[in-house]
């Protein structure tokens, strides 16, 4: 019996037991669909994080203090940063939480104390008003710039600029409102109040600069600028490298990509277990099929069918089941992924290589779990098989 005849016989056998064939394929269908959907979600999340990091600017360098009790970024250190070649702007910040109130509207909000350079260094834009000035920082002026969410919460549909609000019981004048920047790593960048750094130190009670943002002149010199910043920190704080970090957006992207890739791989691995379960289902049904068709196998062997043709027939039957299950799984998986992207806020990234891998893996599963039943069928003794009732 040639391959074509074996294929026809396998398909004929599947058609005679359609419901059982579908239930057999169900494990493969669920497995392939799960791999495609979960990996698409994982890769989409990774792409979303990378886009968010890129939106912060590719020439941004961040110096963060992890232990403010052991290390302090003084005005002298910040002055040294400003003198470095390739650094165009420096923006030190202090942060804290404050209680803001406007009439009946109130909110617990993150306050960032900054200088006039903060807007440019962080690539932020204003939707209303203006940003902080150096004079306001020097005079400790009680003025603030609001994030878009904070402005909506405290002023709803009113114009916020030139209005007053209370922060810790003290009146502040709103001079500007930022354009929305969305969320980053689950944290809203719009739920914020920005005040002169000298003013924020009093309002938050935080007198220590924990972070300094530096803007390189362009992304081509970012590595050289990073080296200079790191050298300045090493010279100023010898043997304290564990108490601070110097990073750029590429470092952050590499870290997040590693985390996202691990997460995606884990999701794919979990979904792949469904494929193995589907393979076990194929093996069980094929064993049942061999048992039911024992007499048929005996007749075929009696009229001259060799062991190879019997083995091939049942192996092809297992492959056809897994192949059909794989195709249906691909269609259903892509359909579910599309629905998720349309009806939810999740970012979906299709990977045709993963889709192809899931399909081919389903066929491999069919072959692996079809070998044992097929081999059992091919080894049946024709005389005993003919006696089988």
Delimit the domains of the chain by residue range: 3-52+255-387, 72-236
Chain centroid, CA 153 distance in Å: 29
Q: Which of 194-203, 207-216, 307-316, 340-349 has the highest mean pLDDT?
A: 194-203
Question: What does the angle CA 51 – CA 55 – CA 61 come to, to the nearest 5 degrees?
Answer: 115
pLDDT at 75: 87
- For the chain, the residue count is 389
Both tokens assigned to 286: 């094929």
Distance CA 65, CA 25 (A): 56
Q: Which residues contact 46 (CB under 8 A, 6 or more apart)?
A: 256, 257, 260, 261, 263, 264, 349
Considering only CA atoms, give the Rg of the chain: 33
CA angle 96-101-105, nearest 5°?
125
Confidence label for 12 from pLDDT (cuts 50, 70 and 90): confident
Question: What's the CA angle centered on 309, arms 304 and 314, to 5 degrees?
Answer: 130
For residue 186, the model assigns a pLDDT of 54
Looking up tokens 């259903």 gives: 332
For 179: left if phi > 0, alpha if psi spans -120 to 50, otherwise beta; the answer is: beta
Among 195, 206, 200, which Cα is nearest to 73's? Answer: 206
The answer to which of 42-56, 80-94, 145-159, 204-218 has the lowest mean pLDDT is 42-56
Backbone angles phi and psi of 109, in degrees to 5: -130, 150
Say what the pLDDT of residue 308 is.
76
Task: Please report where in the chains the tokens 């702007």 appear, as a residue.
Answer: 89
- Say if residue 199 is exposed, middle or buried (CB neighbours under 10 Å; 0-12, 13-18, 19+): buried
**Orientation angle between helical segments 294-302 and 249-292, nearest 10 degrees:** 70
Angle at 78 between CA 76 and CA 79, to 5 degrees: 60
DSSP 3-state of 214: strand
pLDDT in tens, 107-162: 999 999 999 999 988 888 999 999 999 999 999 999 999 999 999 999 987 889 99
Residue 54: the pLDDT is 64
Across 10-14, 41-45, 346-350, least confident range:
10-14
Helices (H), the chain: 3-16, 18-55, 75-83, 118-121, 134-138, 148-155, 197-204, 222-236, 249-292, 294-302, 307-343, 352-378, 382-387
- Please give the residue that has the higher pLDDT: either 89 or 282: 89
| Token representation of residue 185 | 């790593």
Q: How far apart are CA 369 and CA 283, in angstroms?
A: 5
pLDDT at 386: 57
Q: How far apart are CA 41 and CA 34, in angstroms?
A: 11
Q: Which of 86-90, 252-256, 379-383 has the lowest mean pLDDT?
A: 379-383
pLDDT at 156 (0 to 100): 85
Highest mean pLDDT among 76-80, 154-158, 315-319: 76-80
What is the band of 382 on the pLDDT scale with cuts at 50, 70, 90? low
Q: What percent of the chain has pLDDT over 70?
A: 88
Between the two ends of the chain, the Cα-to-Cα distance in Å is 26
pLDDT class of 217 with cuts at 50, 70, 90: confident
Q: What residues pair up with 91 in beta bridges, in sequence order?
A: 213
Q: Which residue has the higher pLDDT, 201 or 10?
A: 201
Pairwise CA distance, residues 204 & 115, whole Å: 16
pTM: 0.63
Report for 46-60, 249-263, 350-364: range of highest mean pLDDT = 350-364
């Amino acid at each position: 019996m040639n391959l074509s005849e074996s294929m026809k016989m396998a398909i004929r056998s599947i058609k005679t037991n359609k419901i059982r064939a579908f239930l057999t394929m169900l494990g493969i269908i669920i497995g392939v669909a799960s791999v495609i959907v979960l990996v698409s979600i994982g890769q989409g999340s990774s792409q979303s994080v990378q886009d968010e990091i890129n939106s912060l600017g590719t020439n941004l360098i961040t110096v963060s203090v992890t232990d403010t009790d052991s290390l302090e970024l003084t005005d002298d250190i910040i002055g040294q940063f400003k003198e470095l070649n390739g650094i165009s702007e420096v923006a030190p910040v202090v942060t804290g939480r404050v209680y803001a109130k406007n009439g009946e509207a109130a909110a617990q909000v993150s306050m960032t104390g900054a200088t006039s350079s903060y807007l440019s260094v962080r690539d932020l834009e204003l939707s209303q008003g203006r940003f902080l000035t150096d004079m306001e920082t020097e005079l400790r002026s009680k003025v603030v710039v609001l994030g878009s969410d904070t402005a909506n919460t405290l002023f709803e549909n009113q114009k916020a600029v030139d209005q007053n609000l209370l922060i810790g019981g003290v009146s502040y004048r709103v001079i500007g409102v930022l354009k929305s920047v969305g969320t980053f790593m689950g944290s809203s960048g719009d739920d914020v109040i920005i005040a002169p750094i000298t003013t924020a130190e009093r309002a938050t009670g935080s007198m220590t600069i924990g972070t300094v943002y530096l803007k390189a002149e362009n992304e081509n010199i970012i590595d050289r600028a990073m080296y200079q910043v790191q050298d300045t920190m090493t010279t100023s704080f010898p043997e304290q490298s564990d108490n601070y970090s110097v990073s750029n957006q590429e470092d952050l992207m590499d870290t997040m990509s590693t985390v996202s890739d691990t997460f995606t791989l884990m999701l794919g691995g979990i979904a792949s277990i469904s494929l193995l379960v589907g393979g076990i289902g194929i093996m069980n049904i094929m064993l049942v099929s061999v048992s039911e068709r024992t007499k048929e196998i005996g007749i075929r062997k009696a009229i001259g069918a060799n062991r190879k043709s019997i083995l091939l027939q049942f192996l092809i039957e297992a492959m056809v089941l897994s192949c059909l299950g794989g195709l249906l799984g691909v269609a259903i998986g892509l359909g579910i992924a599309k629905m998720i992207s349309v009806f939810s806020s999740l970012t979906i990234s299709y990977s045709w290589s993963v889709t192809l891998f899931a399909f081919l893996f389903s066929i491999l599963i069919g072959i692996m779990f079809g070998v044992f039943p097929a081999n059992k069928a091919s080894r049946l003794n024709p005389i005993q098989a003919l006696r089988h009732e």
